[in-house]
Structure formats: C-alpha cells, structure tokens
Amino acid sequence: MYLYRKTYVRNWSHMAPEELHQITVKKNKKKHPWIDSKNITGITELVGQWRKANAVHDWFVSHVQDGEDDCKEYNVELPQLQELYDTCVLVRDNTKLVDGQIKNGYSCKEIDGKFVETPIMEPGKTVADKSVAEDLLPTAGGFFFGSTDYDEYYMEDILDTIKILEPLLKLEIPKGFYPPDYIYRASW
C-alpha cells in the first residue's frame, strides 16, 4: 500500500531565471545516462507505505476509489487525507489497549480426514472496546489482507497512518509553487 506525492516542476521558456527548477539526477556521481533534466515535468516521492493495513486500505477503497479494489492508482484530494487523519485520531483517542491474547498464526491438524486450523494465541494487547474502531475504521478481510482482529497491530496501523499524514497536512505551499498531487495505490 503506497501513498505518493507528485510535484509539478516543469520549466518553461517564459519563466524568469529565479523561477526555474534546478533538477539533477545522478548515480554514482555521474549524470544519469538517459534522463534529460530539461524534460522533467514532475517529481514523485513515496510519502507513505503500509503493509496489510486492511482497515486503512478499505477506507481508501470506500472513500477514494468508489468501491473499486483493483490495484490502480487513484488521486487523493487533501480533504480526503484530512478525513482519514481525523478518523484515525478519533479511533486512537477512543480506543484503549489492554492485556489479552492475540493471534499469531494458525496450526493445522488433520481430524477425521479434514484439516482444521487452530489459532495460535499468545500474550499481547487487544482493544478493550472495539465499537468505535468498528464504526469508524473497520477491518476488512481479503486475499493477503492480514488479521482482521482489533489488537495492537490494528492500533499500530492507525498510529502509522497518523504519522504519515500529519506532515502532509501541515505542508505550506510557498508563493510561486504548485501544490502537490497525492496518489494512492495498493498492490498484492
């Protein structure tokens, strides 16, 4: 799961010298062999990355991708990132972790010719009251989507999302600069 920031940096012949972007692409201190810096129109940065944060991914599918879960790139507007941030903050502030048992995989046994999965449980932190999390940012099952439990790993995804989005939402755009575009893409 990736969140990119794309910044427009096209230089035009009518621009004053102080308005021009200076872009250099080097590898091993040598100019890149086929990238011509005069032709660069945008710079794409990876500004957020998650792994199996299914609740966050499901939020993007529902709020950005019109319900389409298809591994394509989707533009994300700043108000949408603010909404996700605010949702994560509400979940964080209204969710308490307590000692409990969490799943750490499964074991399989053959019983009467059928394989039966049994969760492997270990001490960890679980969400005491998951009603706010279920209401605002529910987990979602799916192929390679990870656990759907409300536990310390779920909360880690929420906290990671807050850390990713906070600096993006505080970004100030100086005069003469174009605001960046944000793009979300998941791949599995």
Q: What is the pLDDT of residues 56-108, one digit of tens each?
A: 999 999 999 999 999 999 999 999 999 999 999 999 999 999 999 998 888 99
Share of the chain above pLDDT 70, in %: 99
Residues 6+ apart with CB under 8 A from 2: 46, 48, 49, 184, 185, 186, 187
Distance CA 63, CA 79 (A): 11
Per-residue pLDDT, 136? 97
Q: Could you read off the pLDDT of 136-155 as tens digits, one per residue? A: 999 998 767 888 999 999 99
- Complete edge-to-edge strand list for the sheet that includes strand 42-49: 42-49, 2-8, 181-185, 74-76
Q: At residue 135, what is the residue type?
A: D
Q: Which two tokens stand for residue 115?
A: 């394989």
Distance CA 167, CA 176 (A): 21
The reported pLDDT for the residue numbered 100 is 94
Rounded to whole angstroms, the Cα distance separating 24 from 36 reads 9
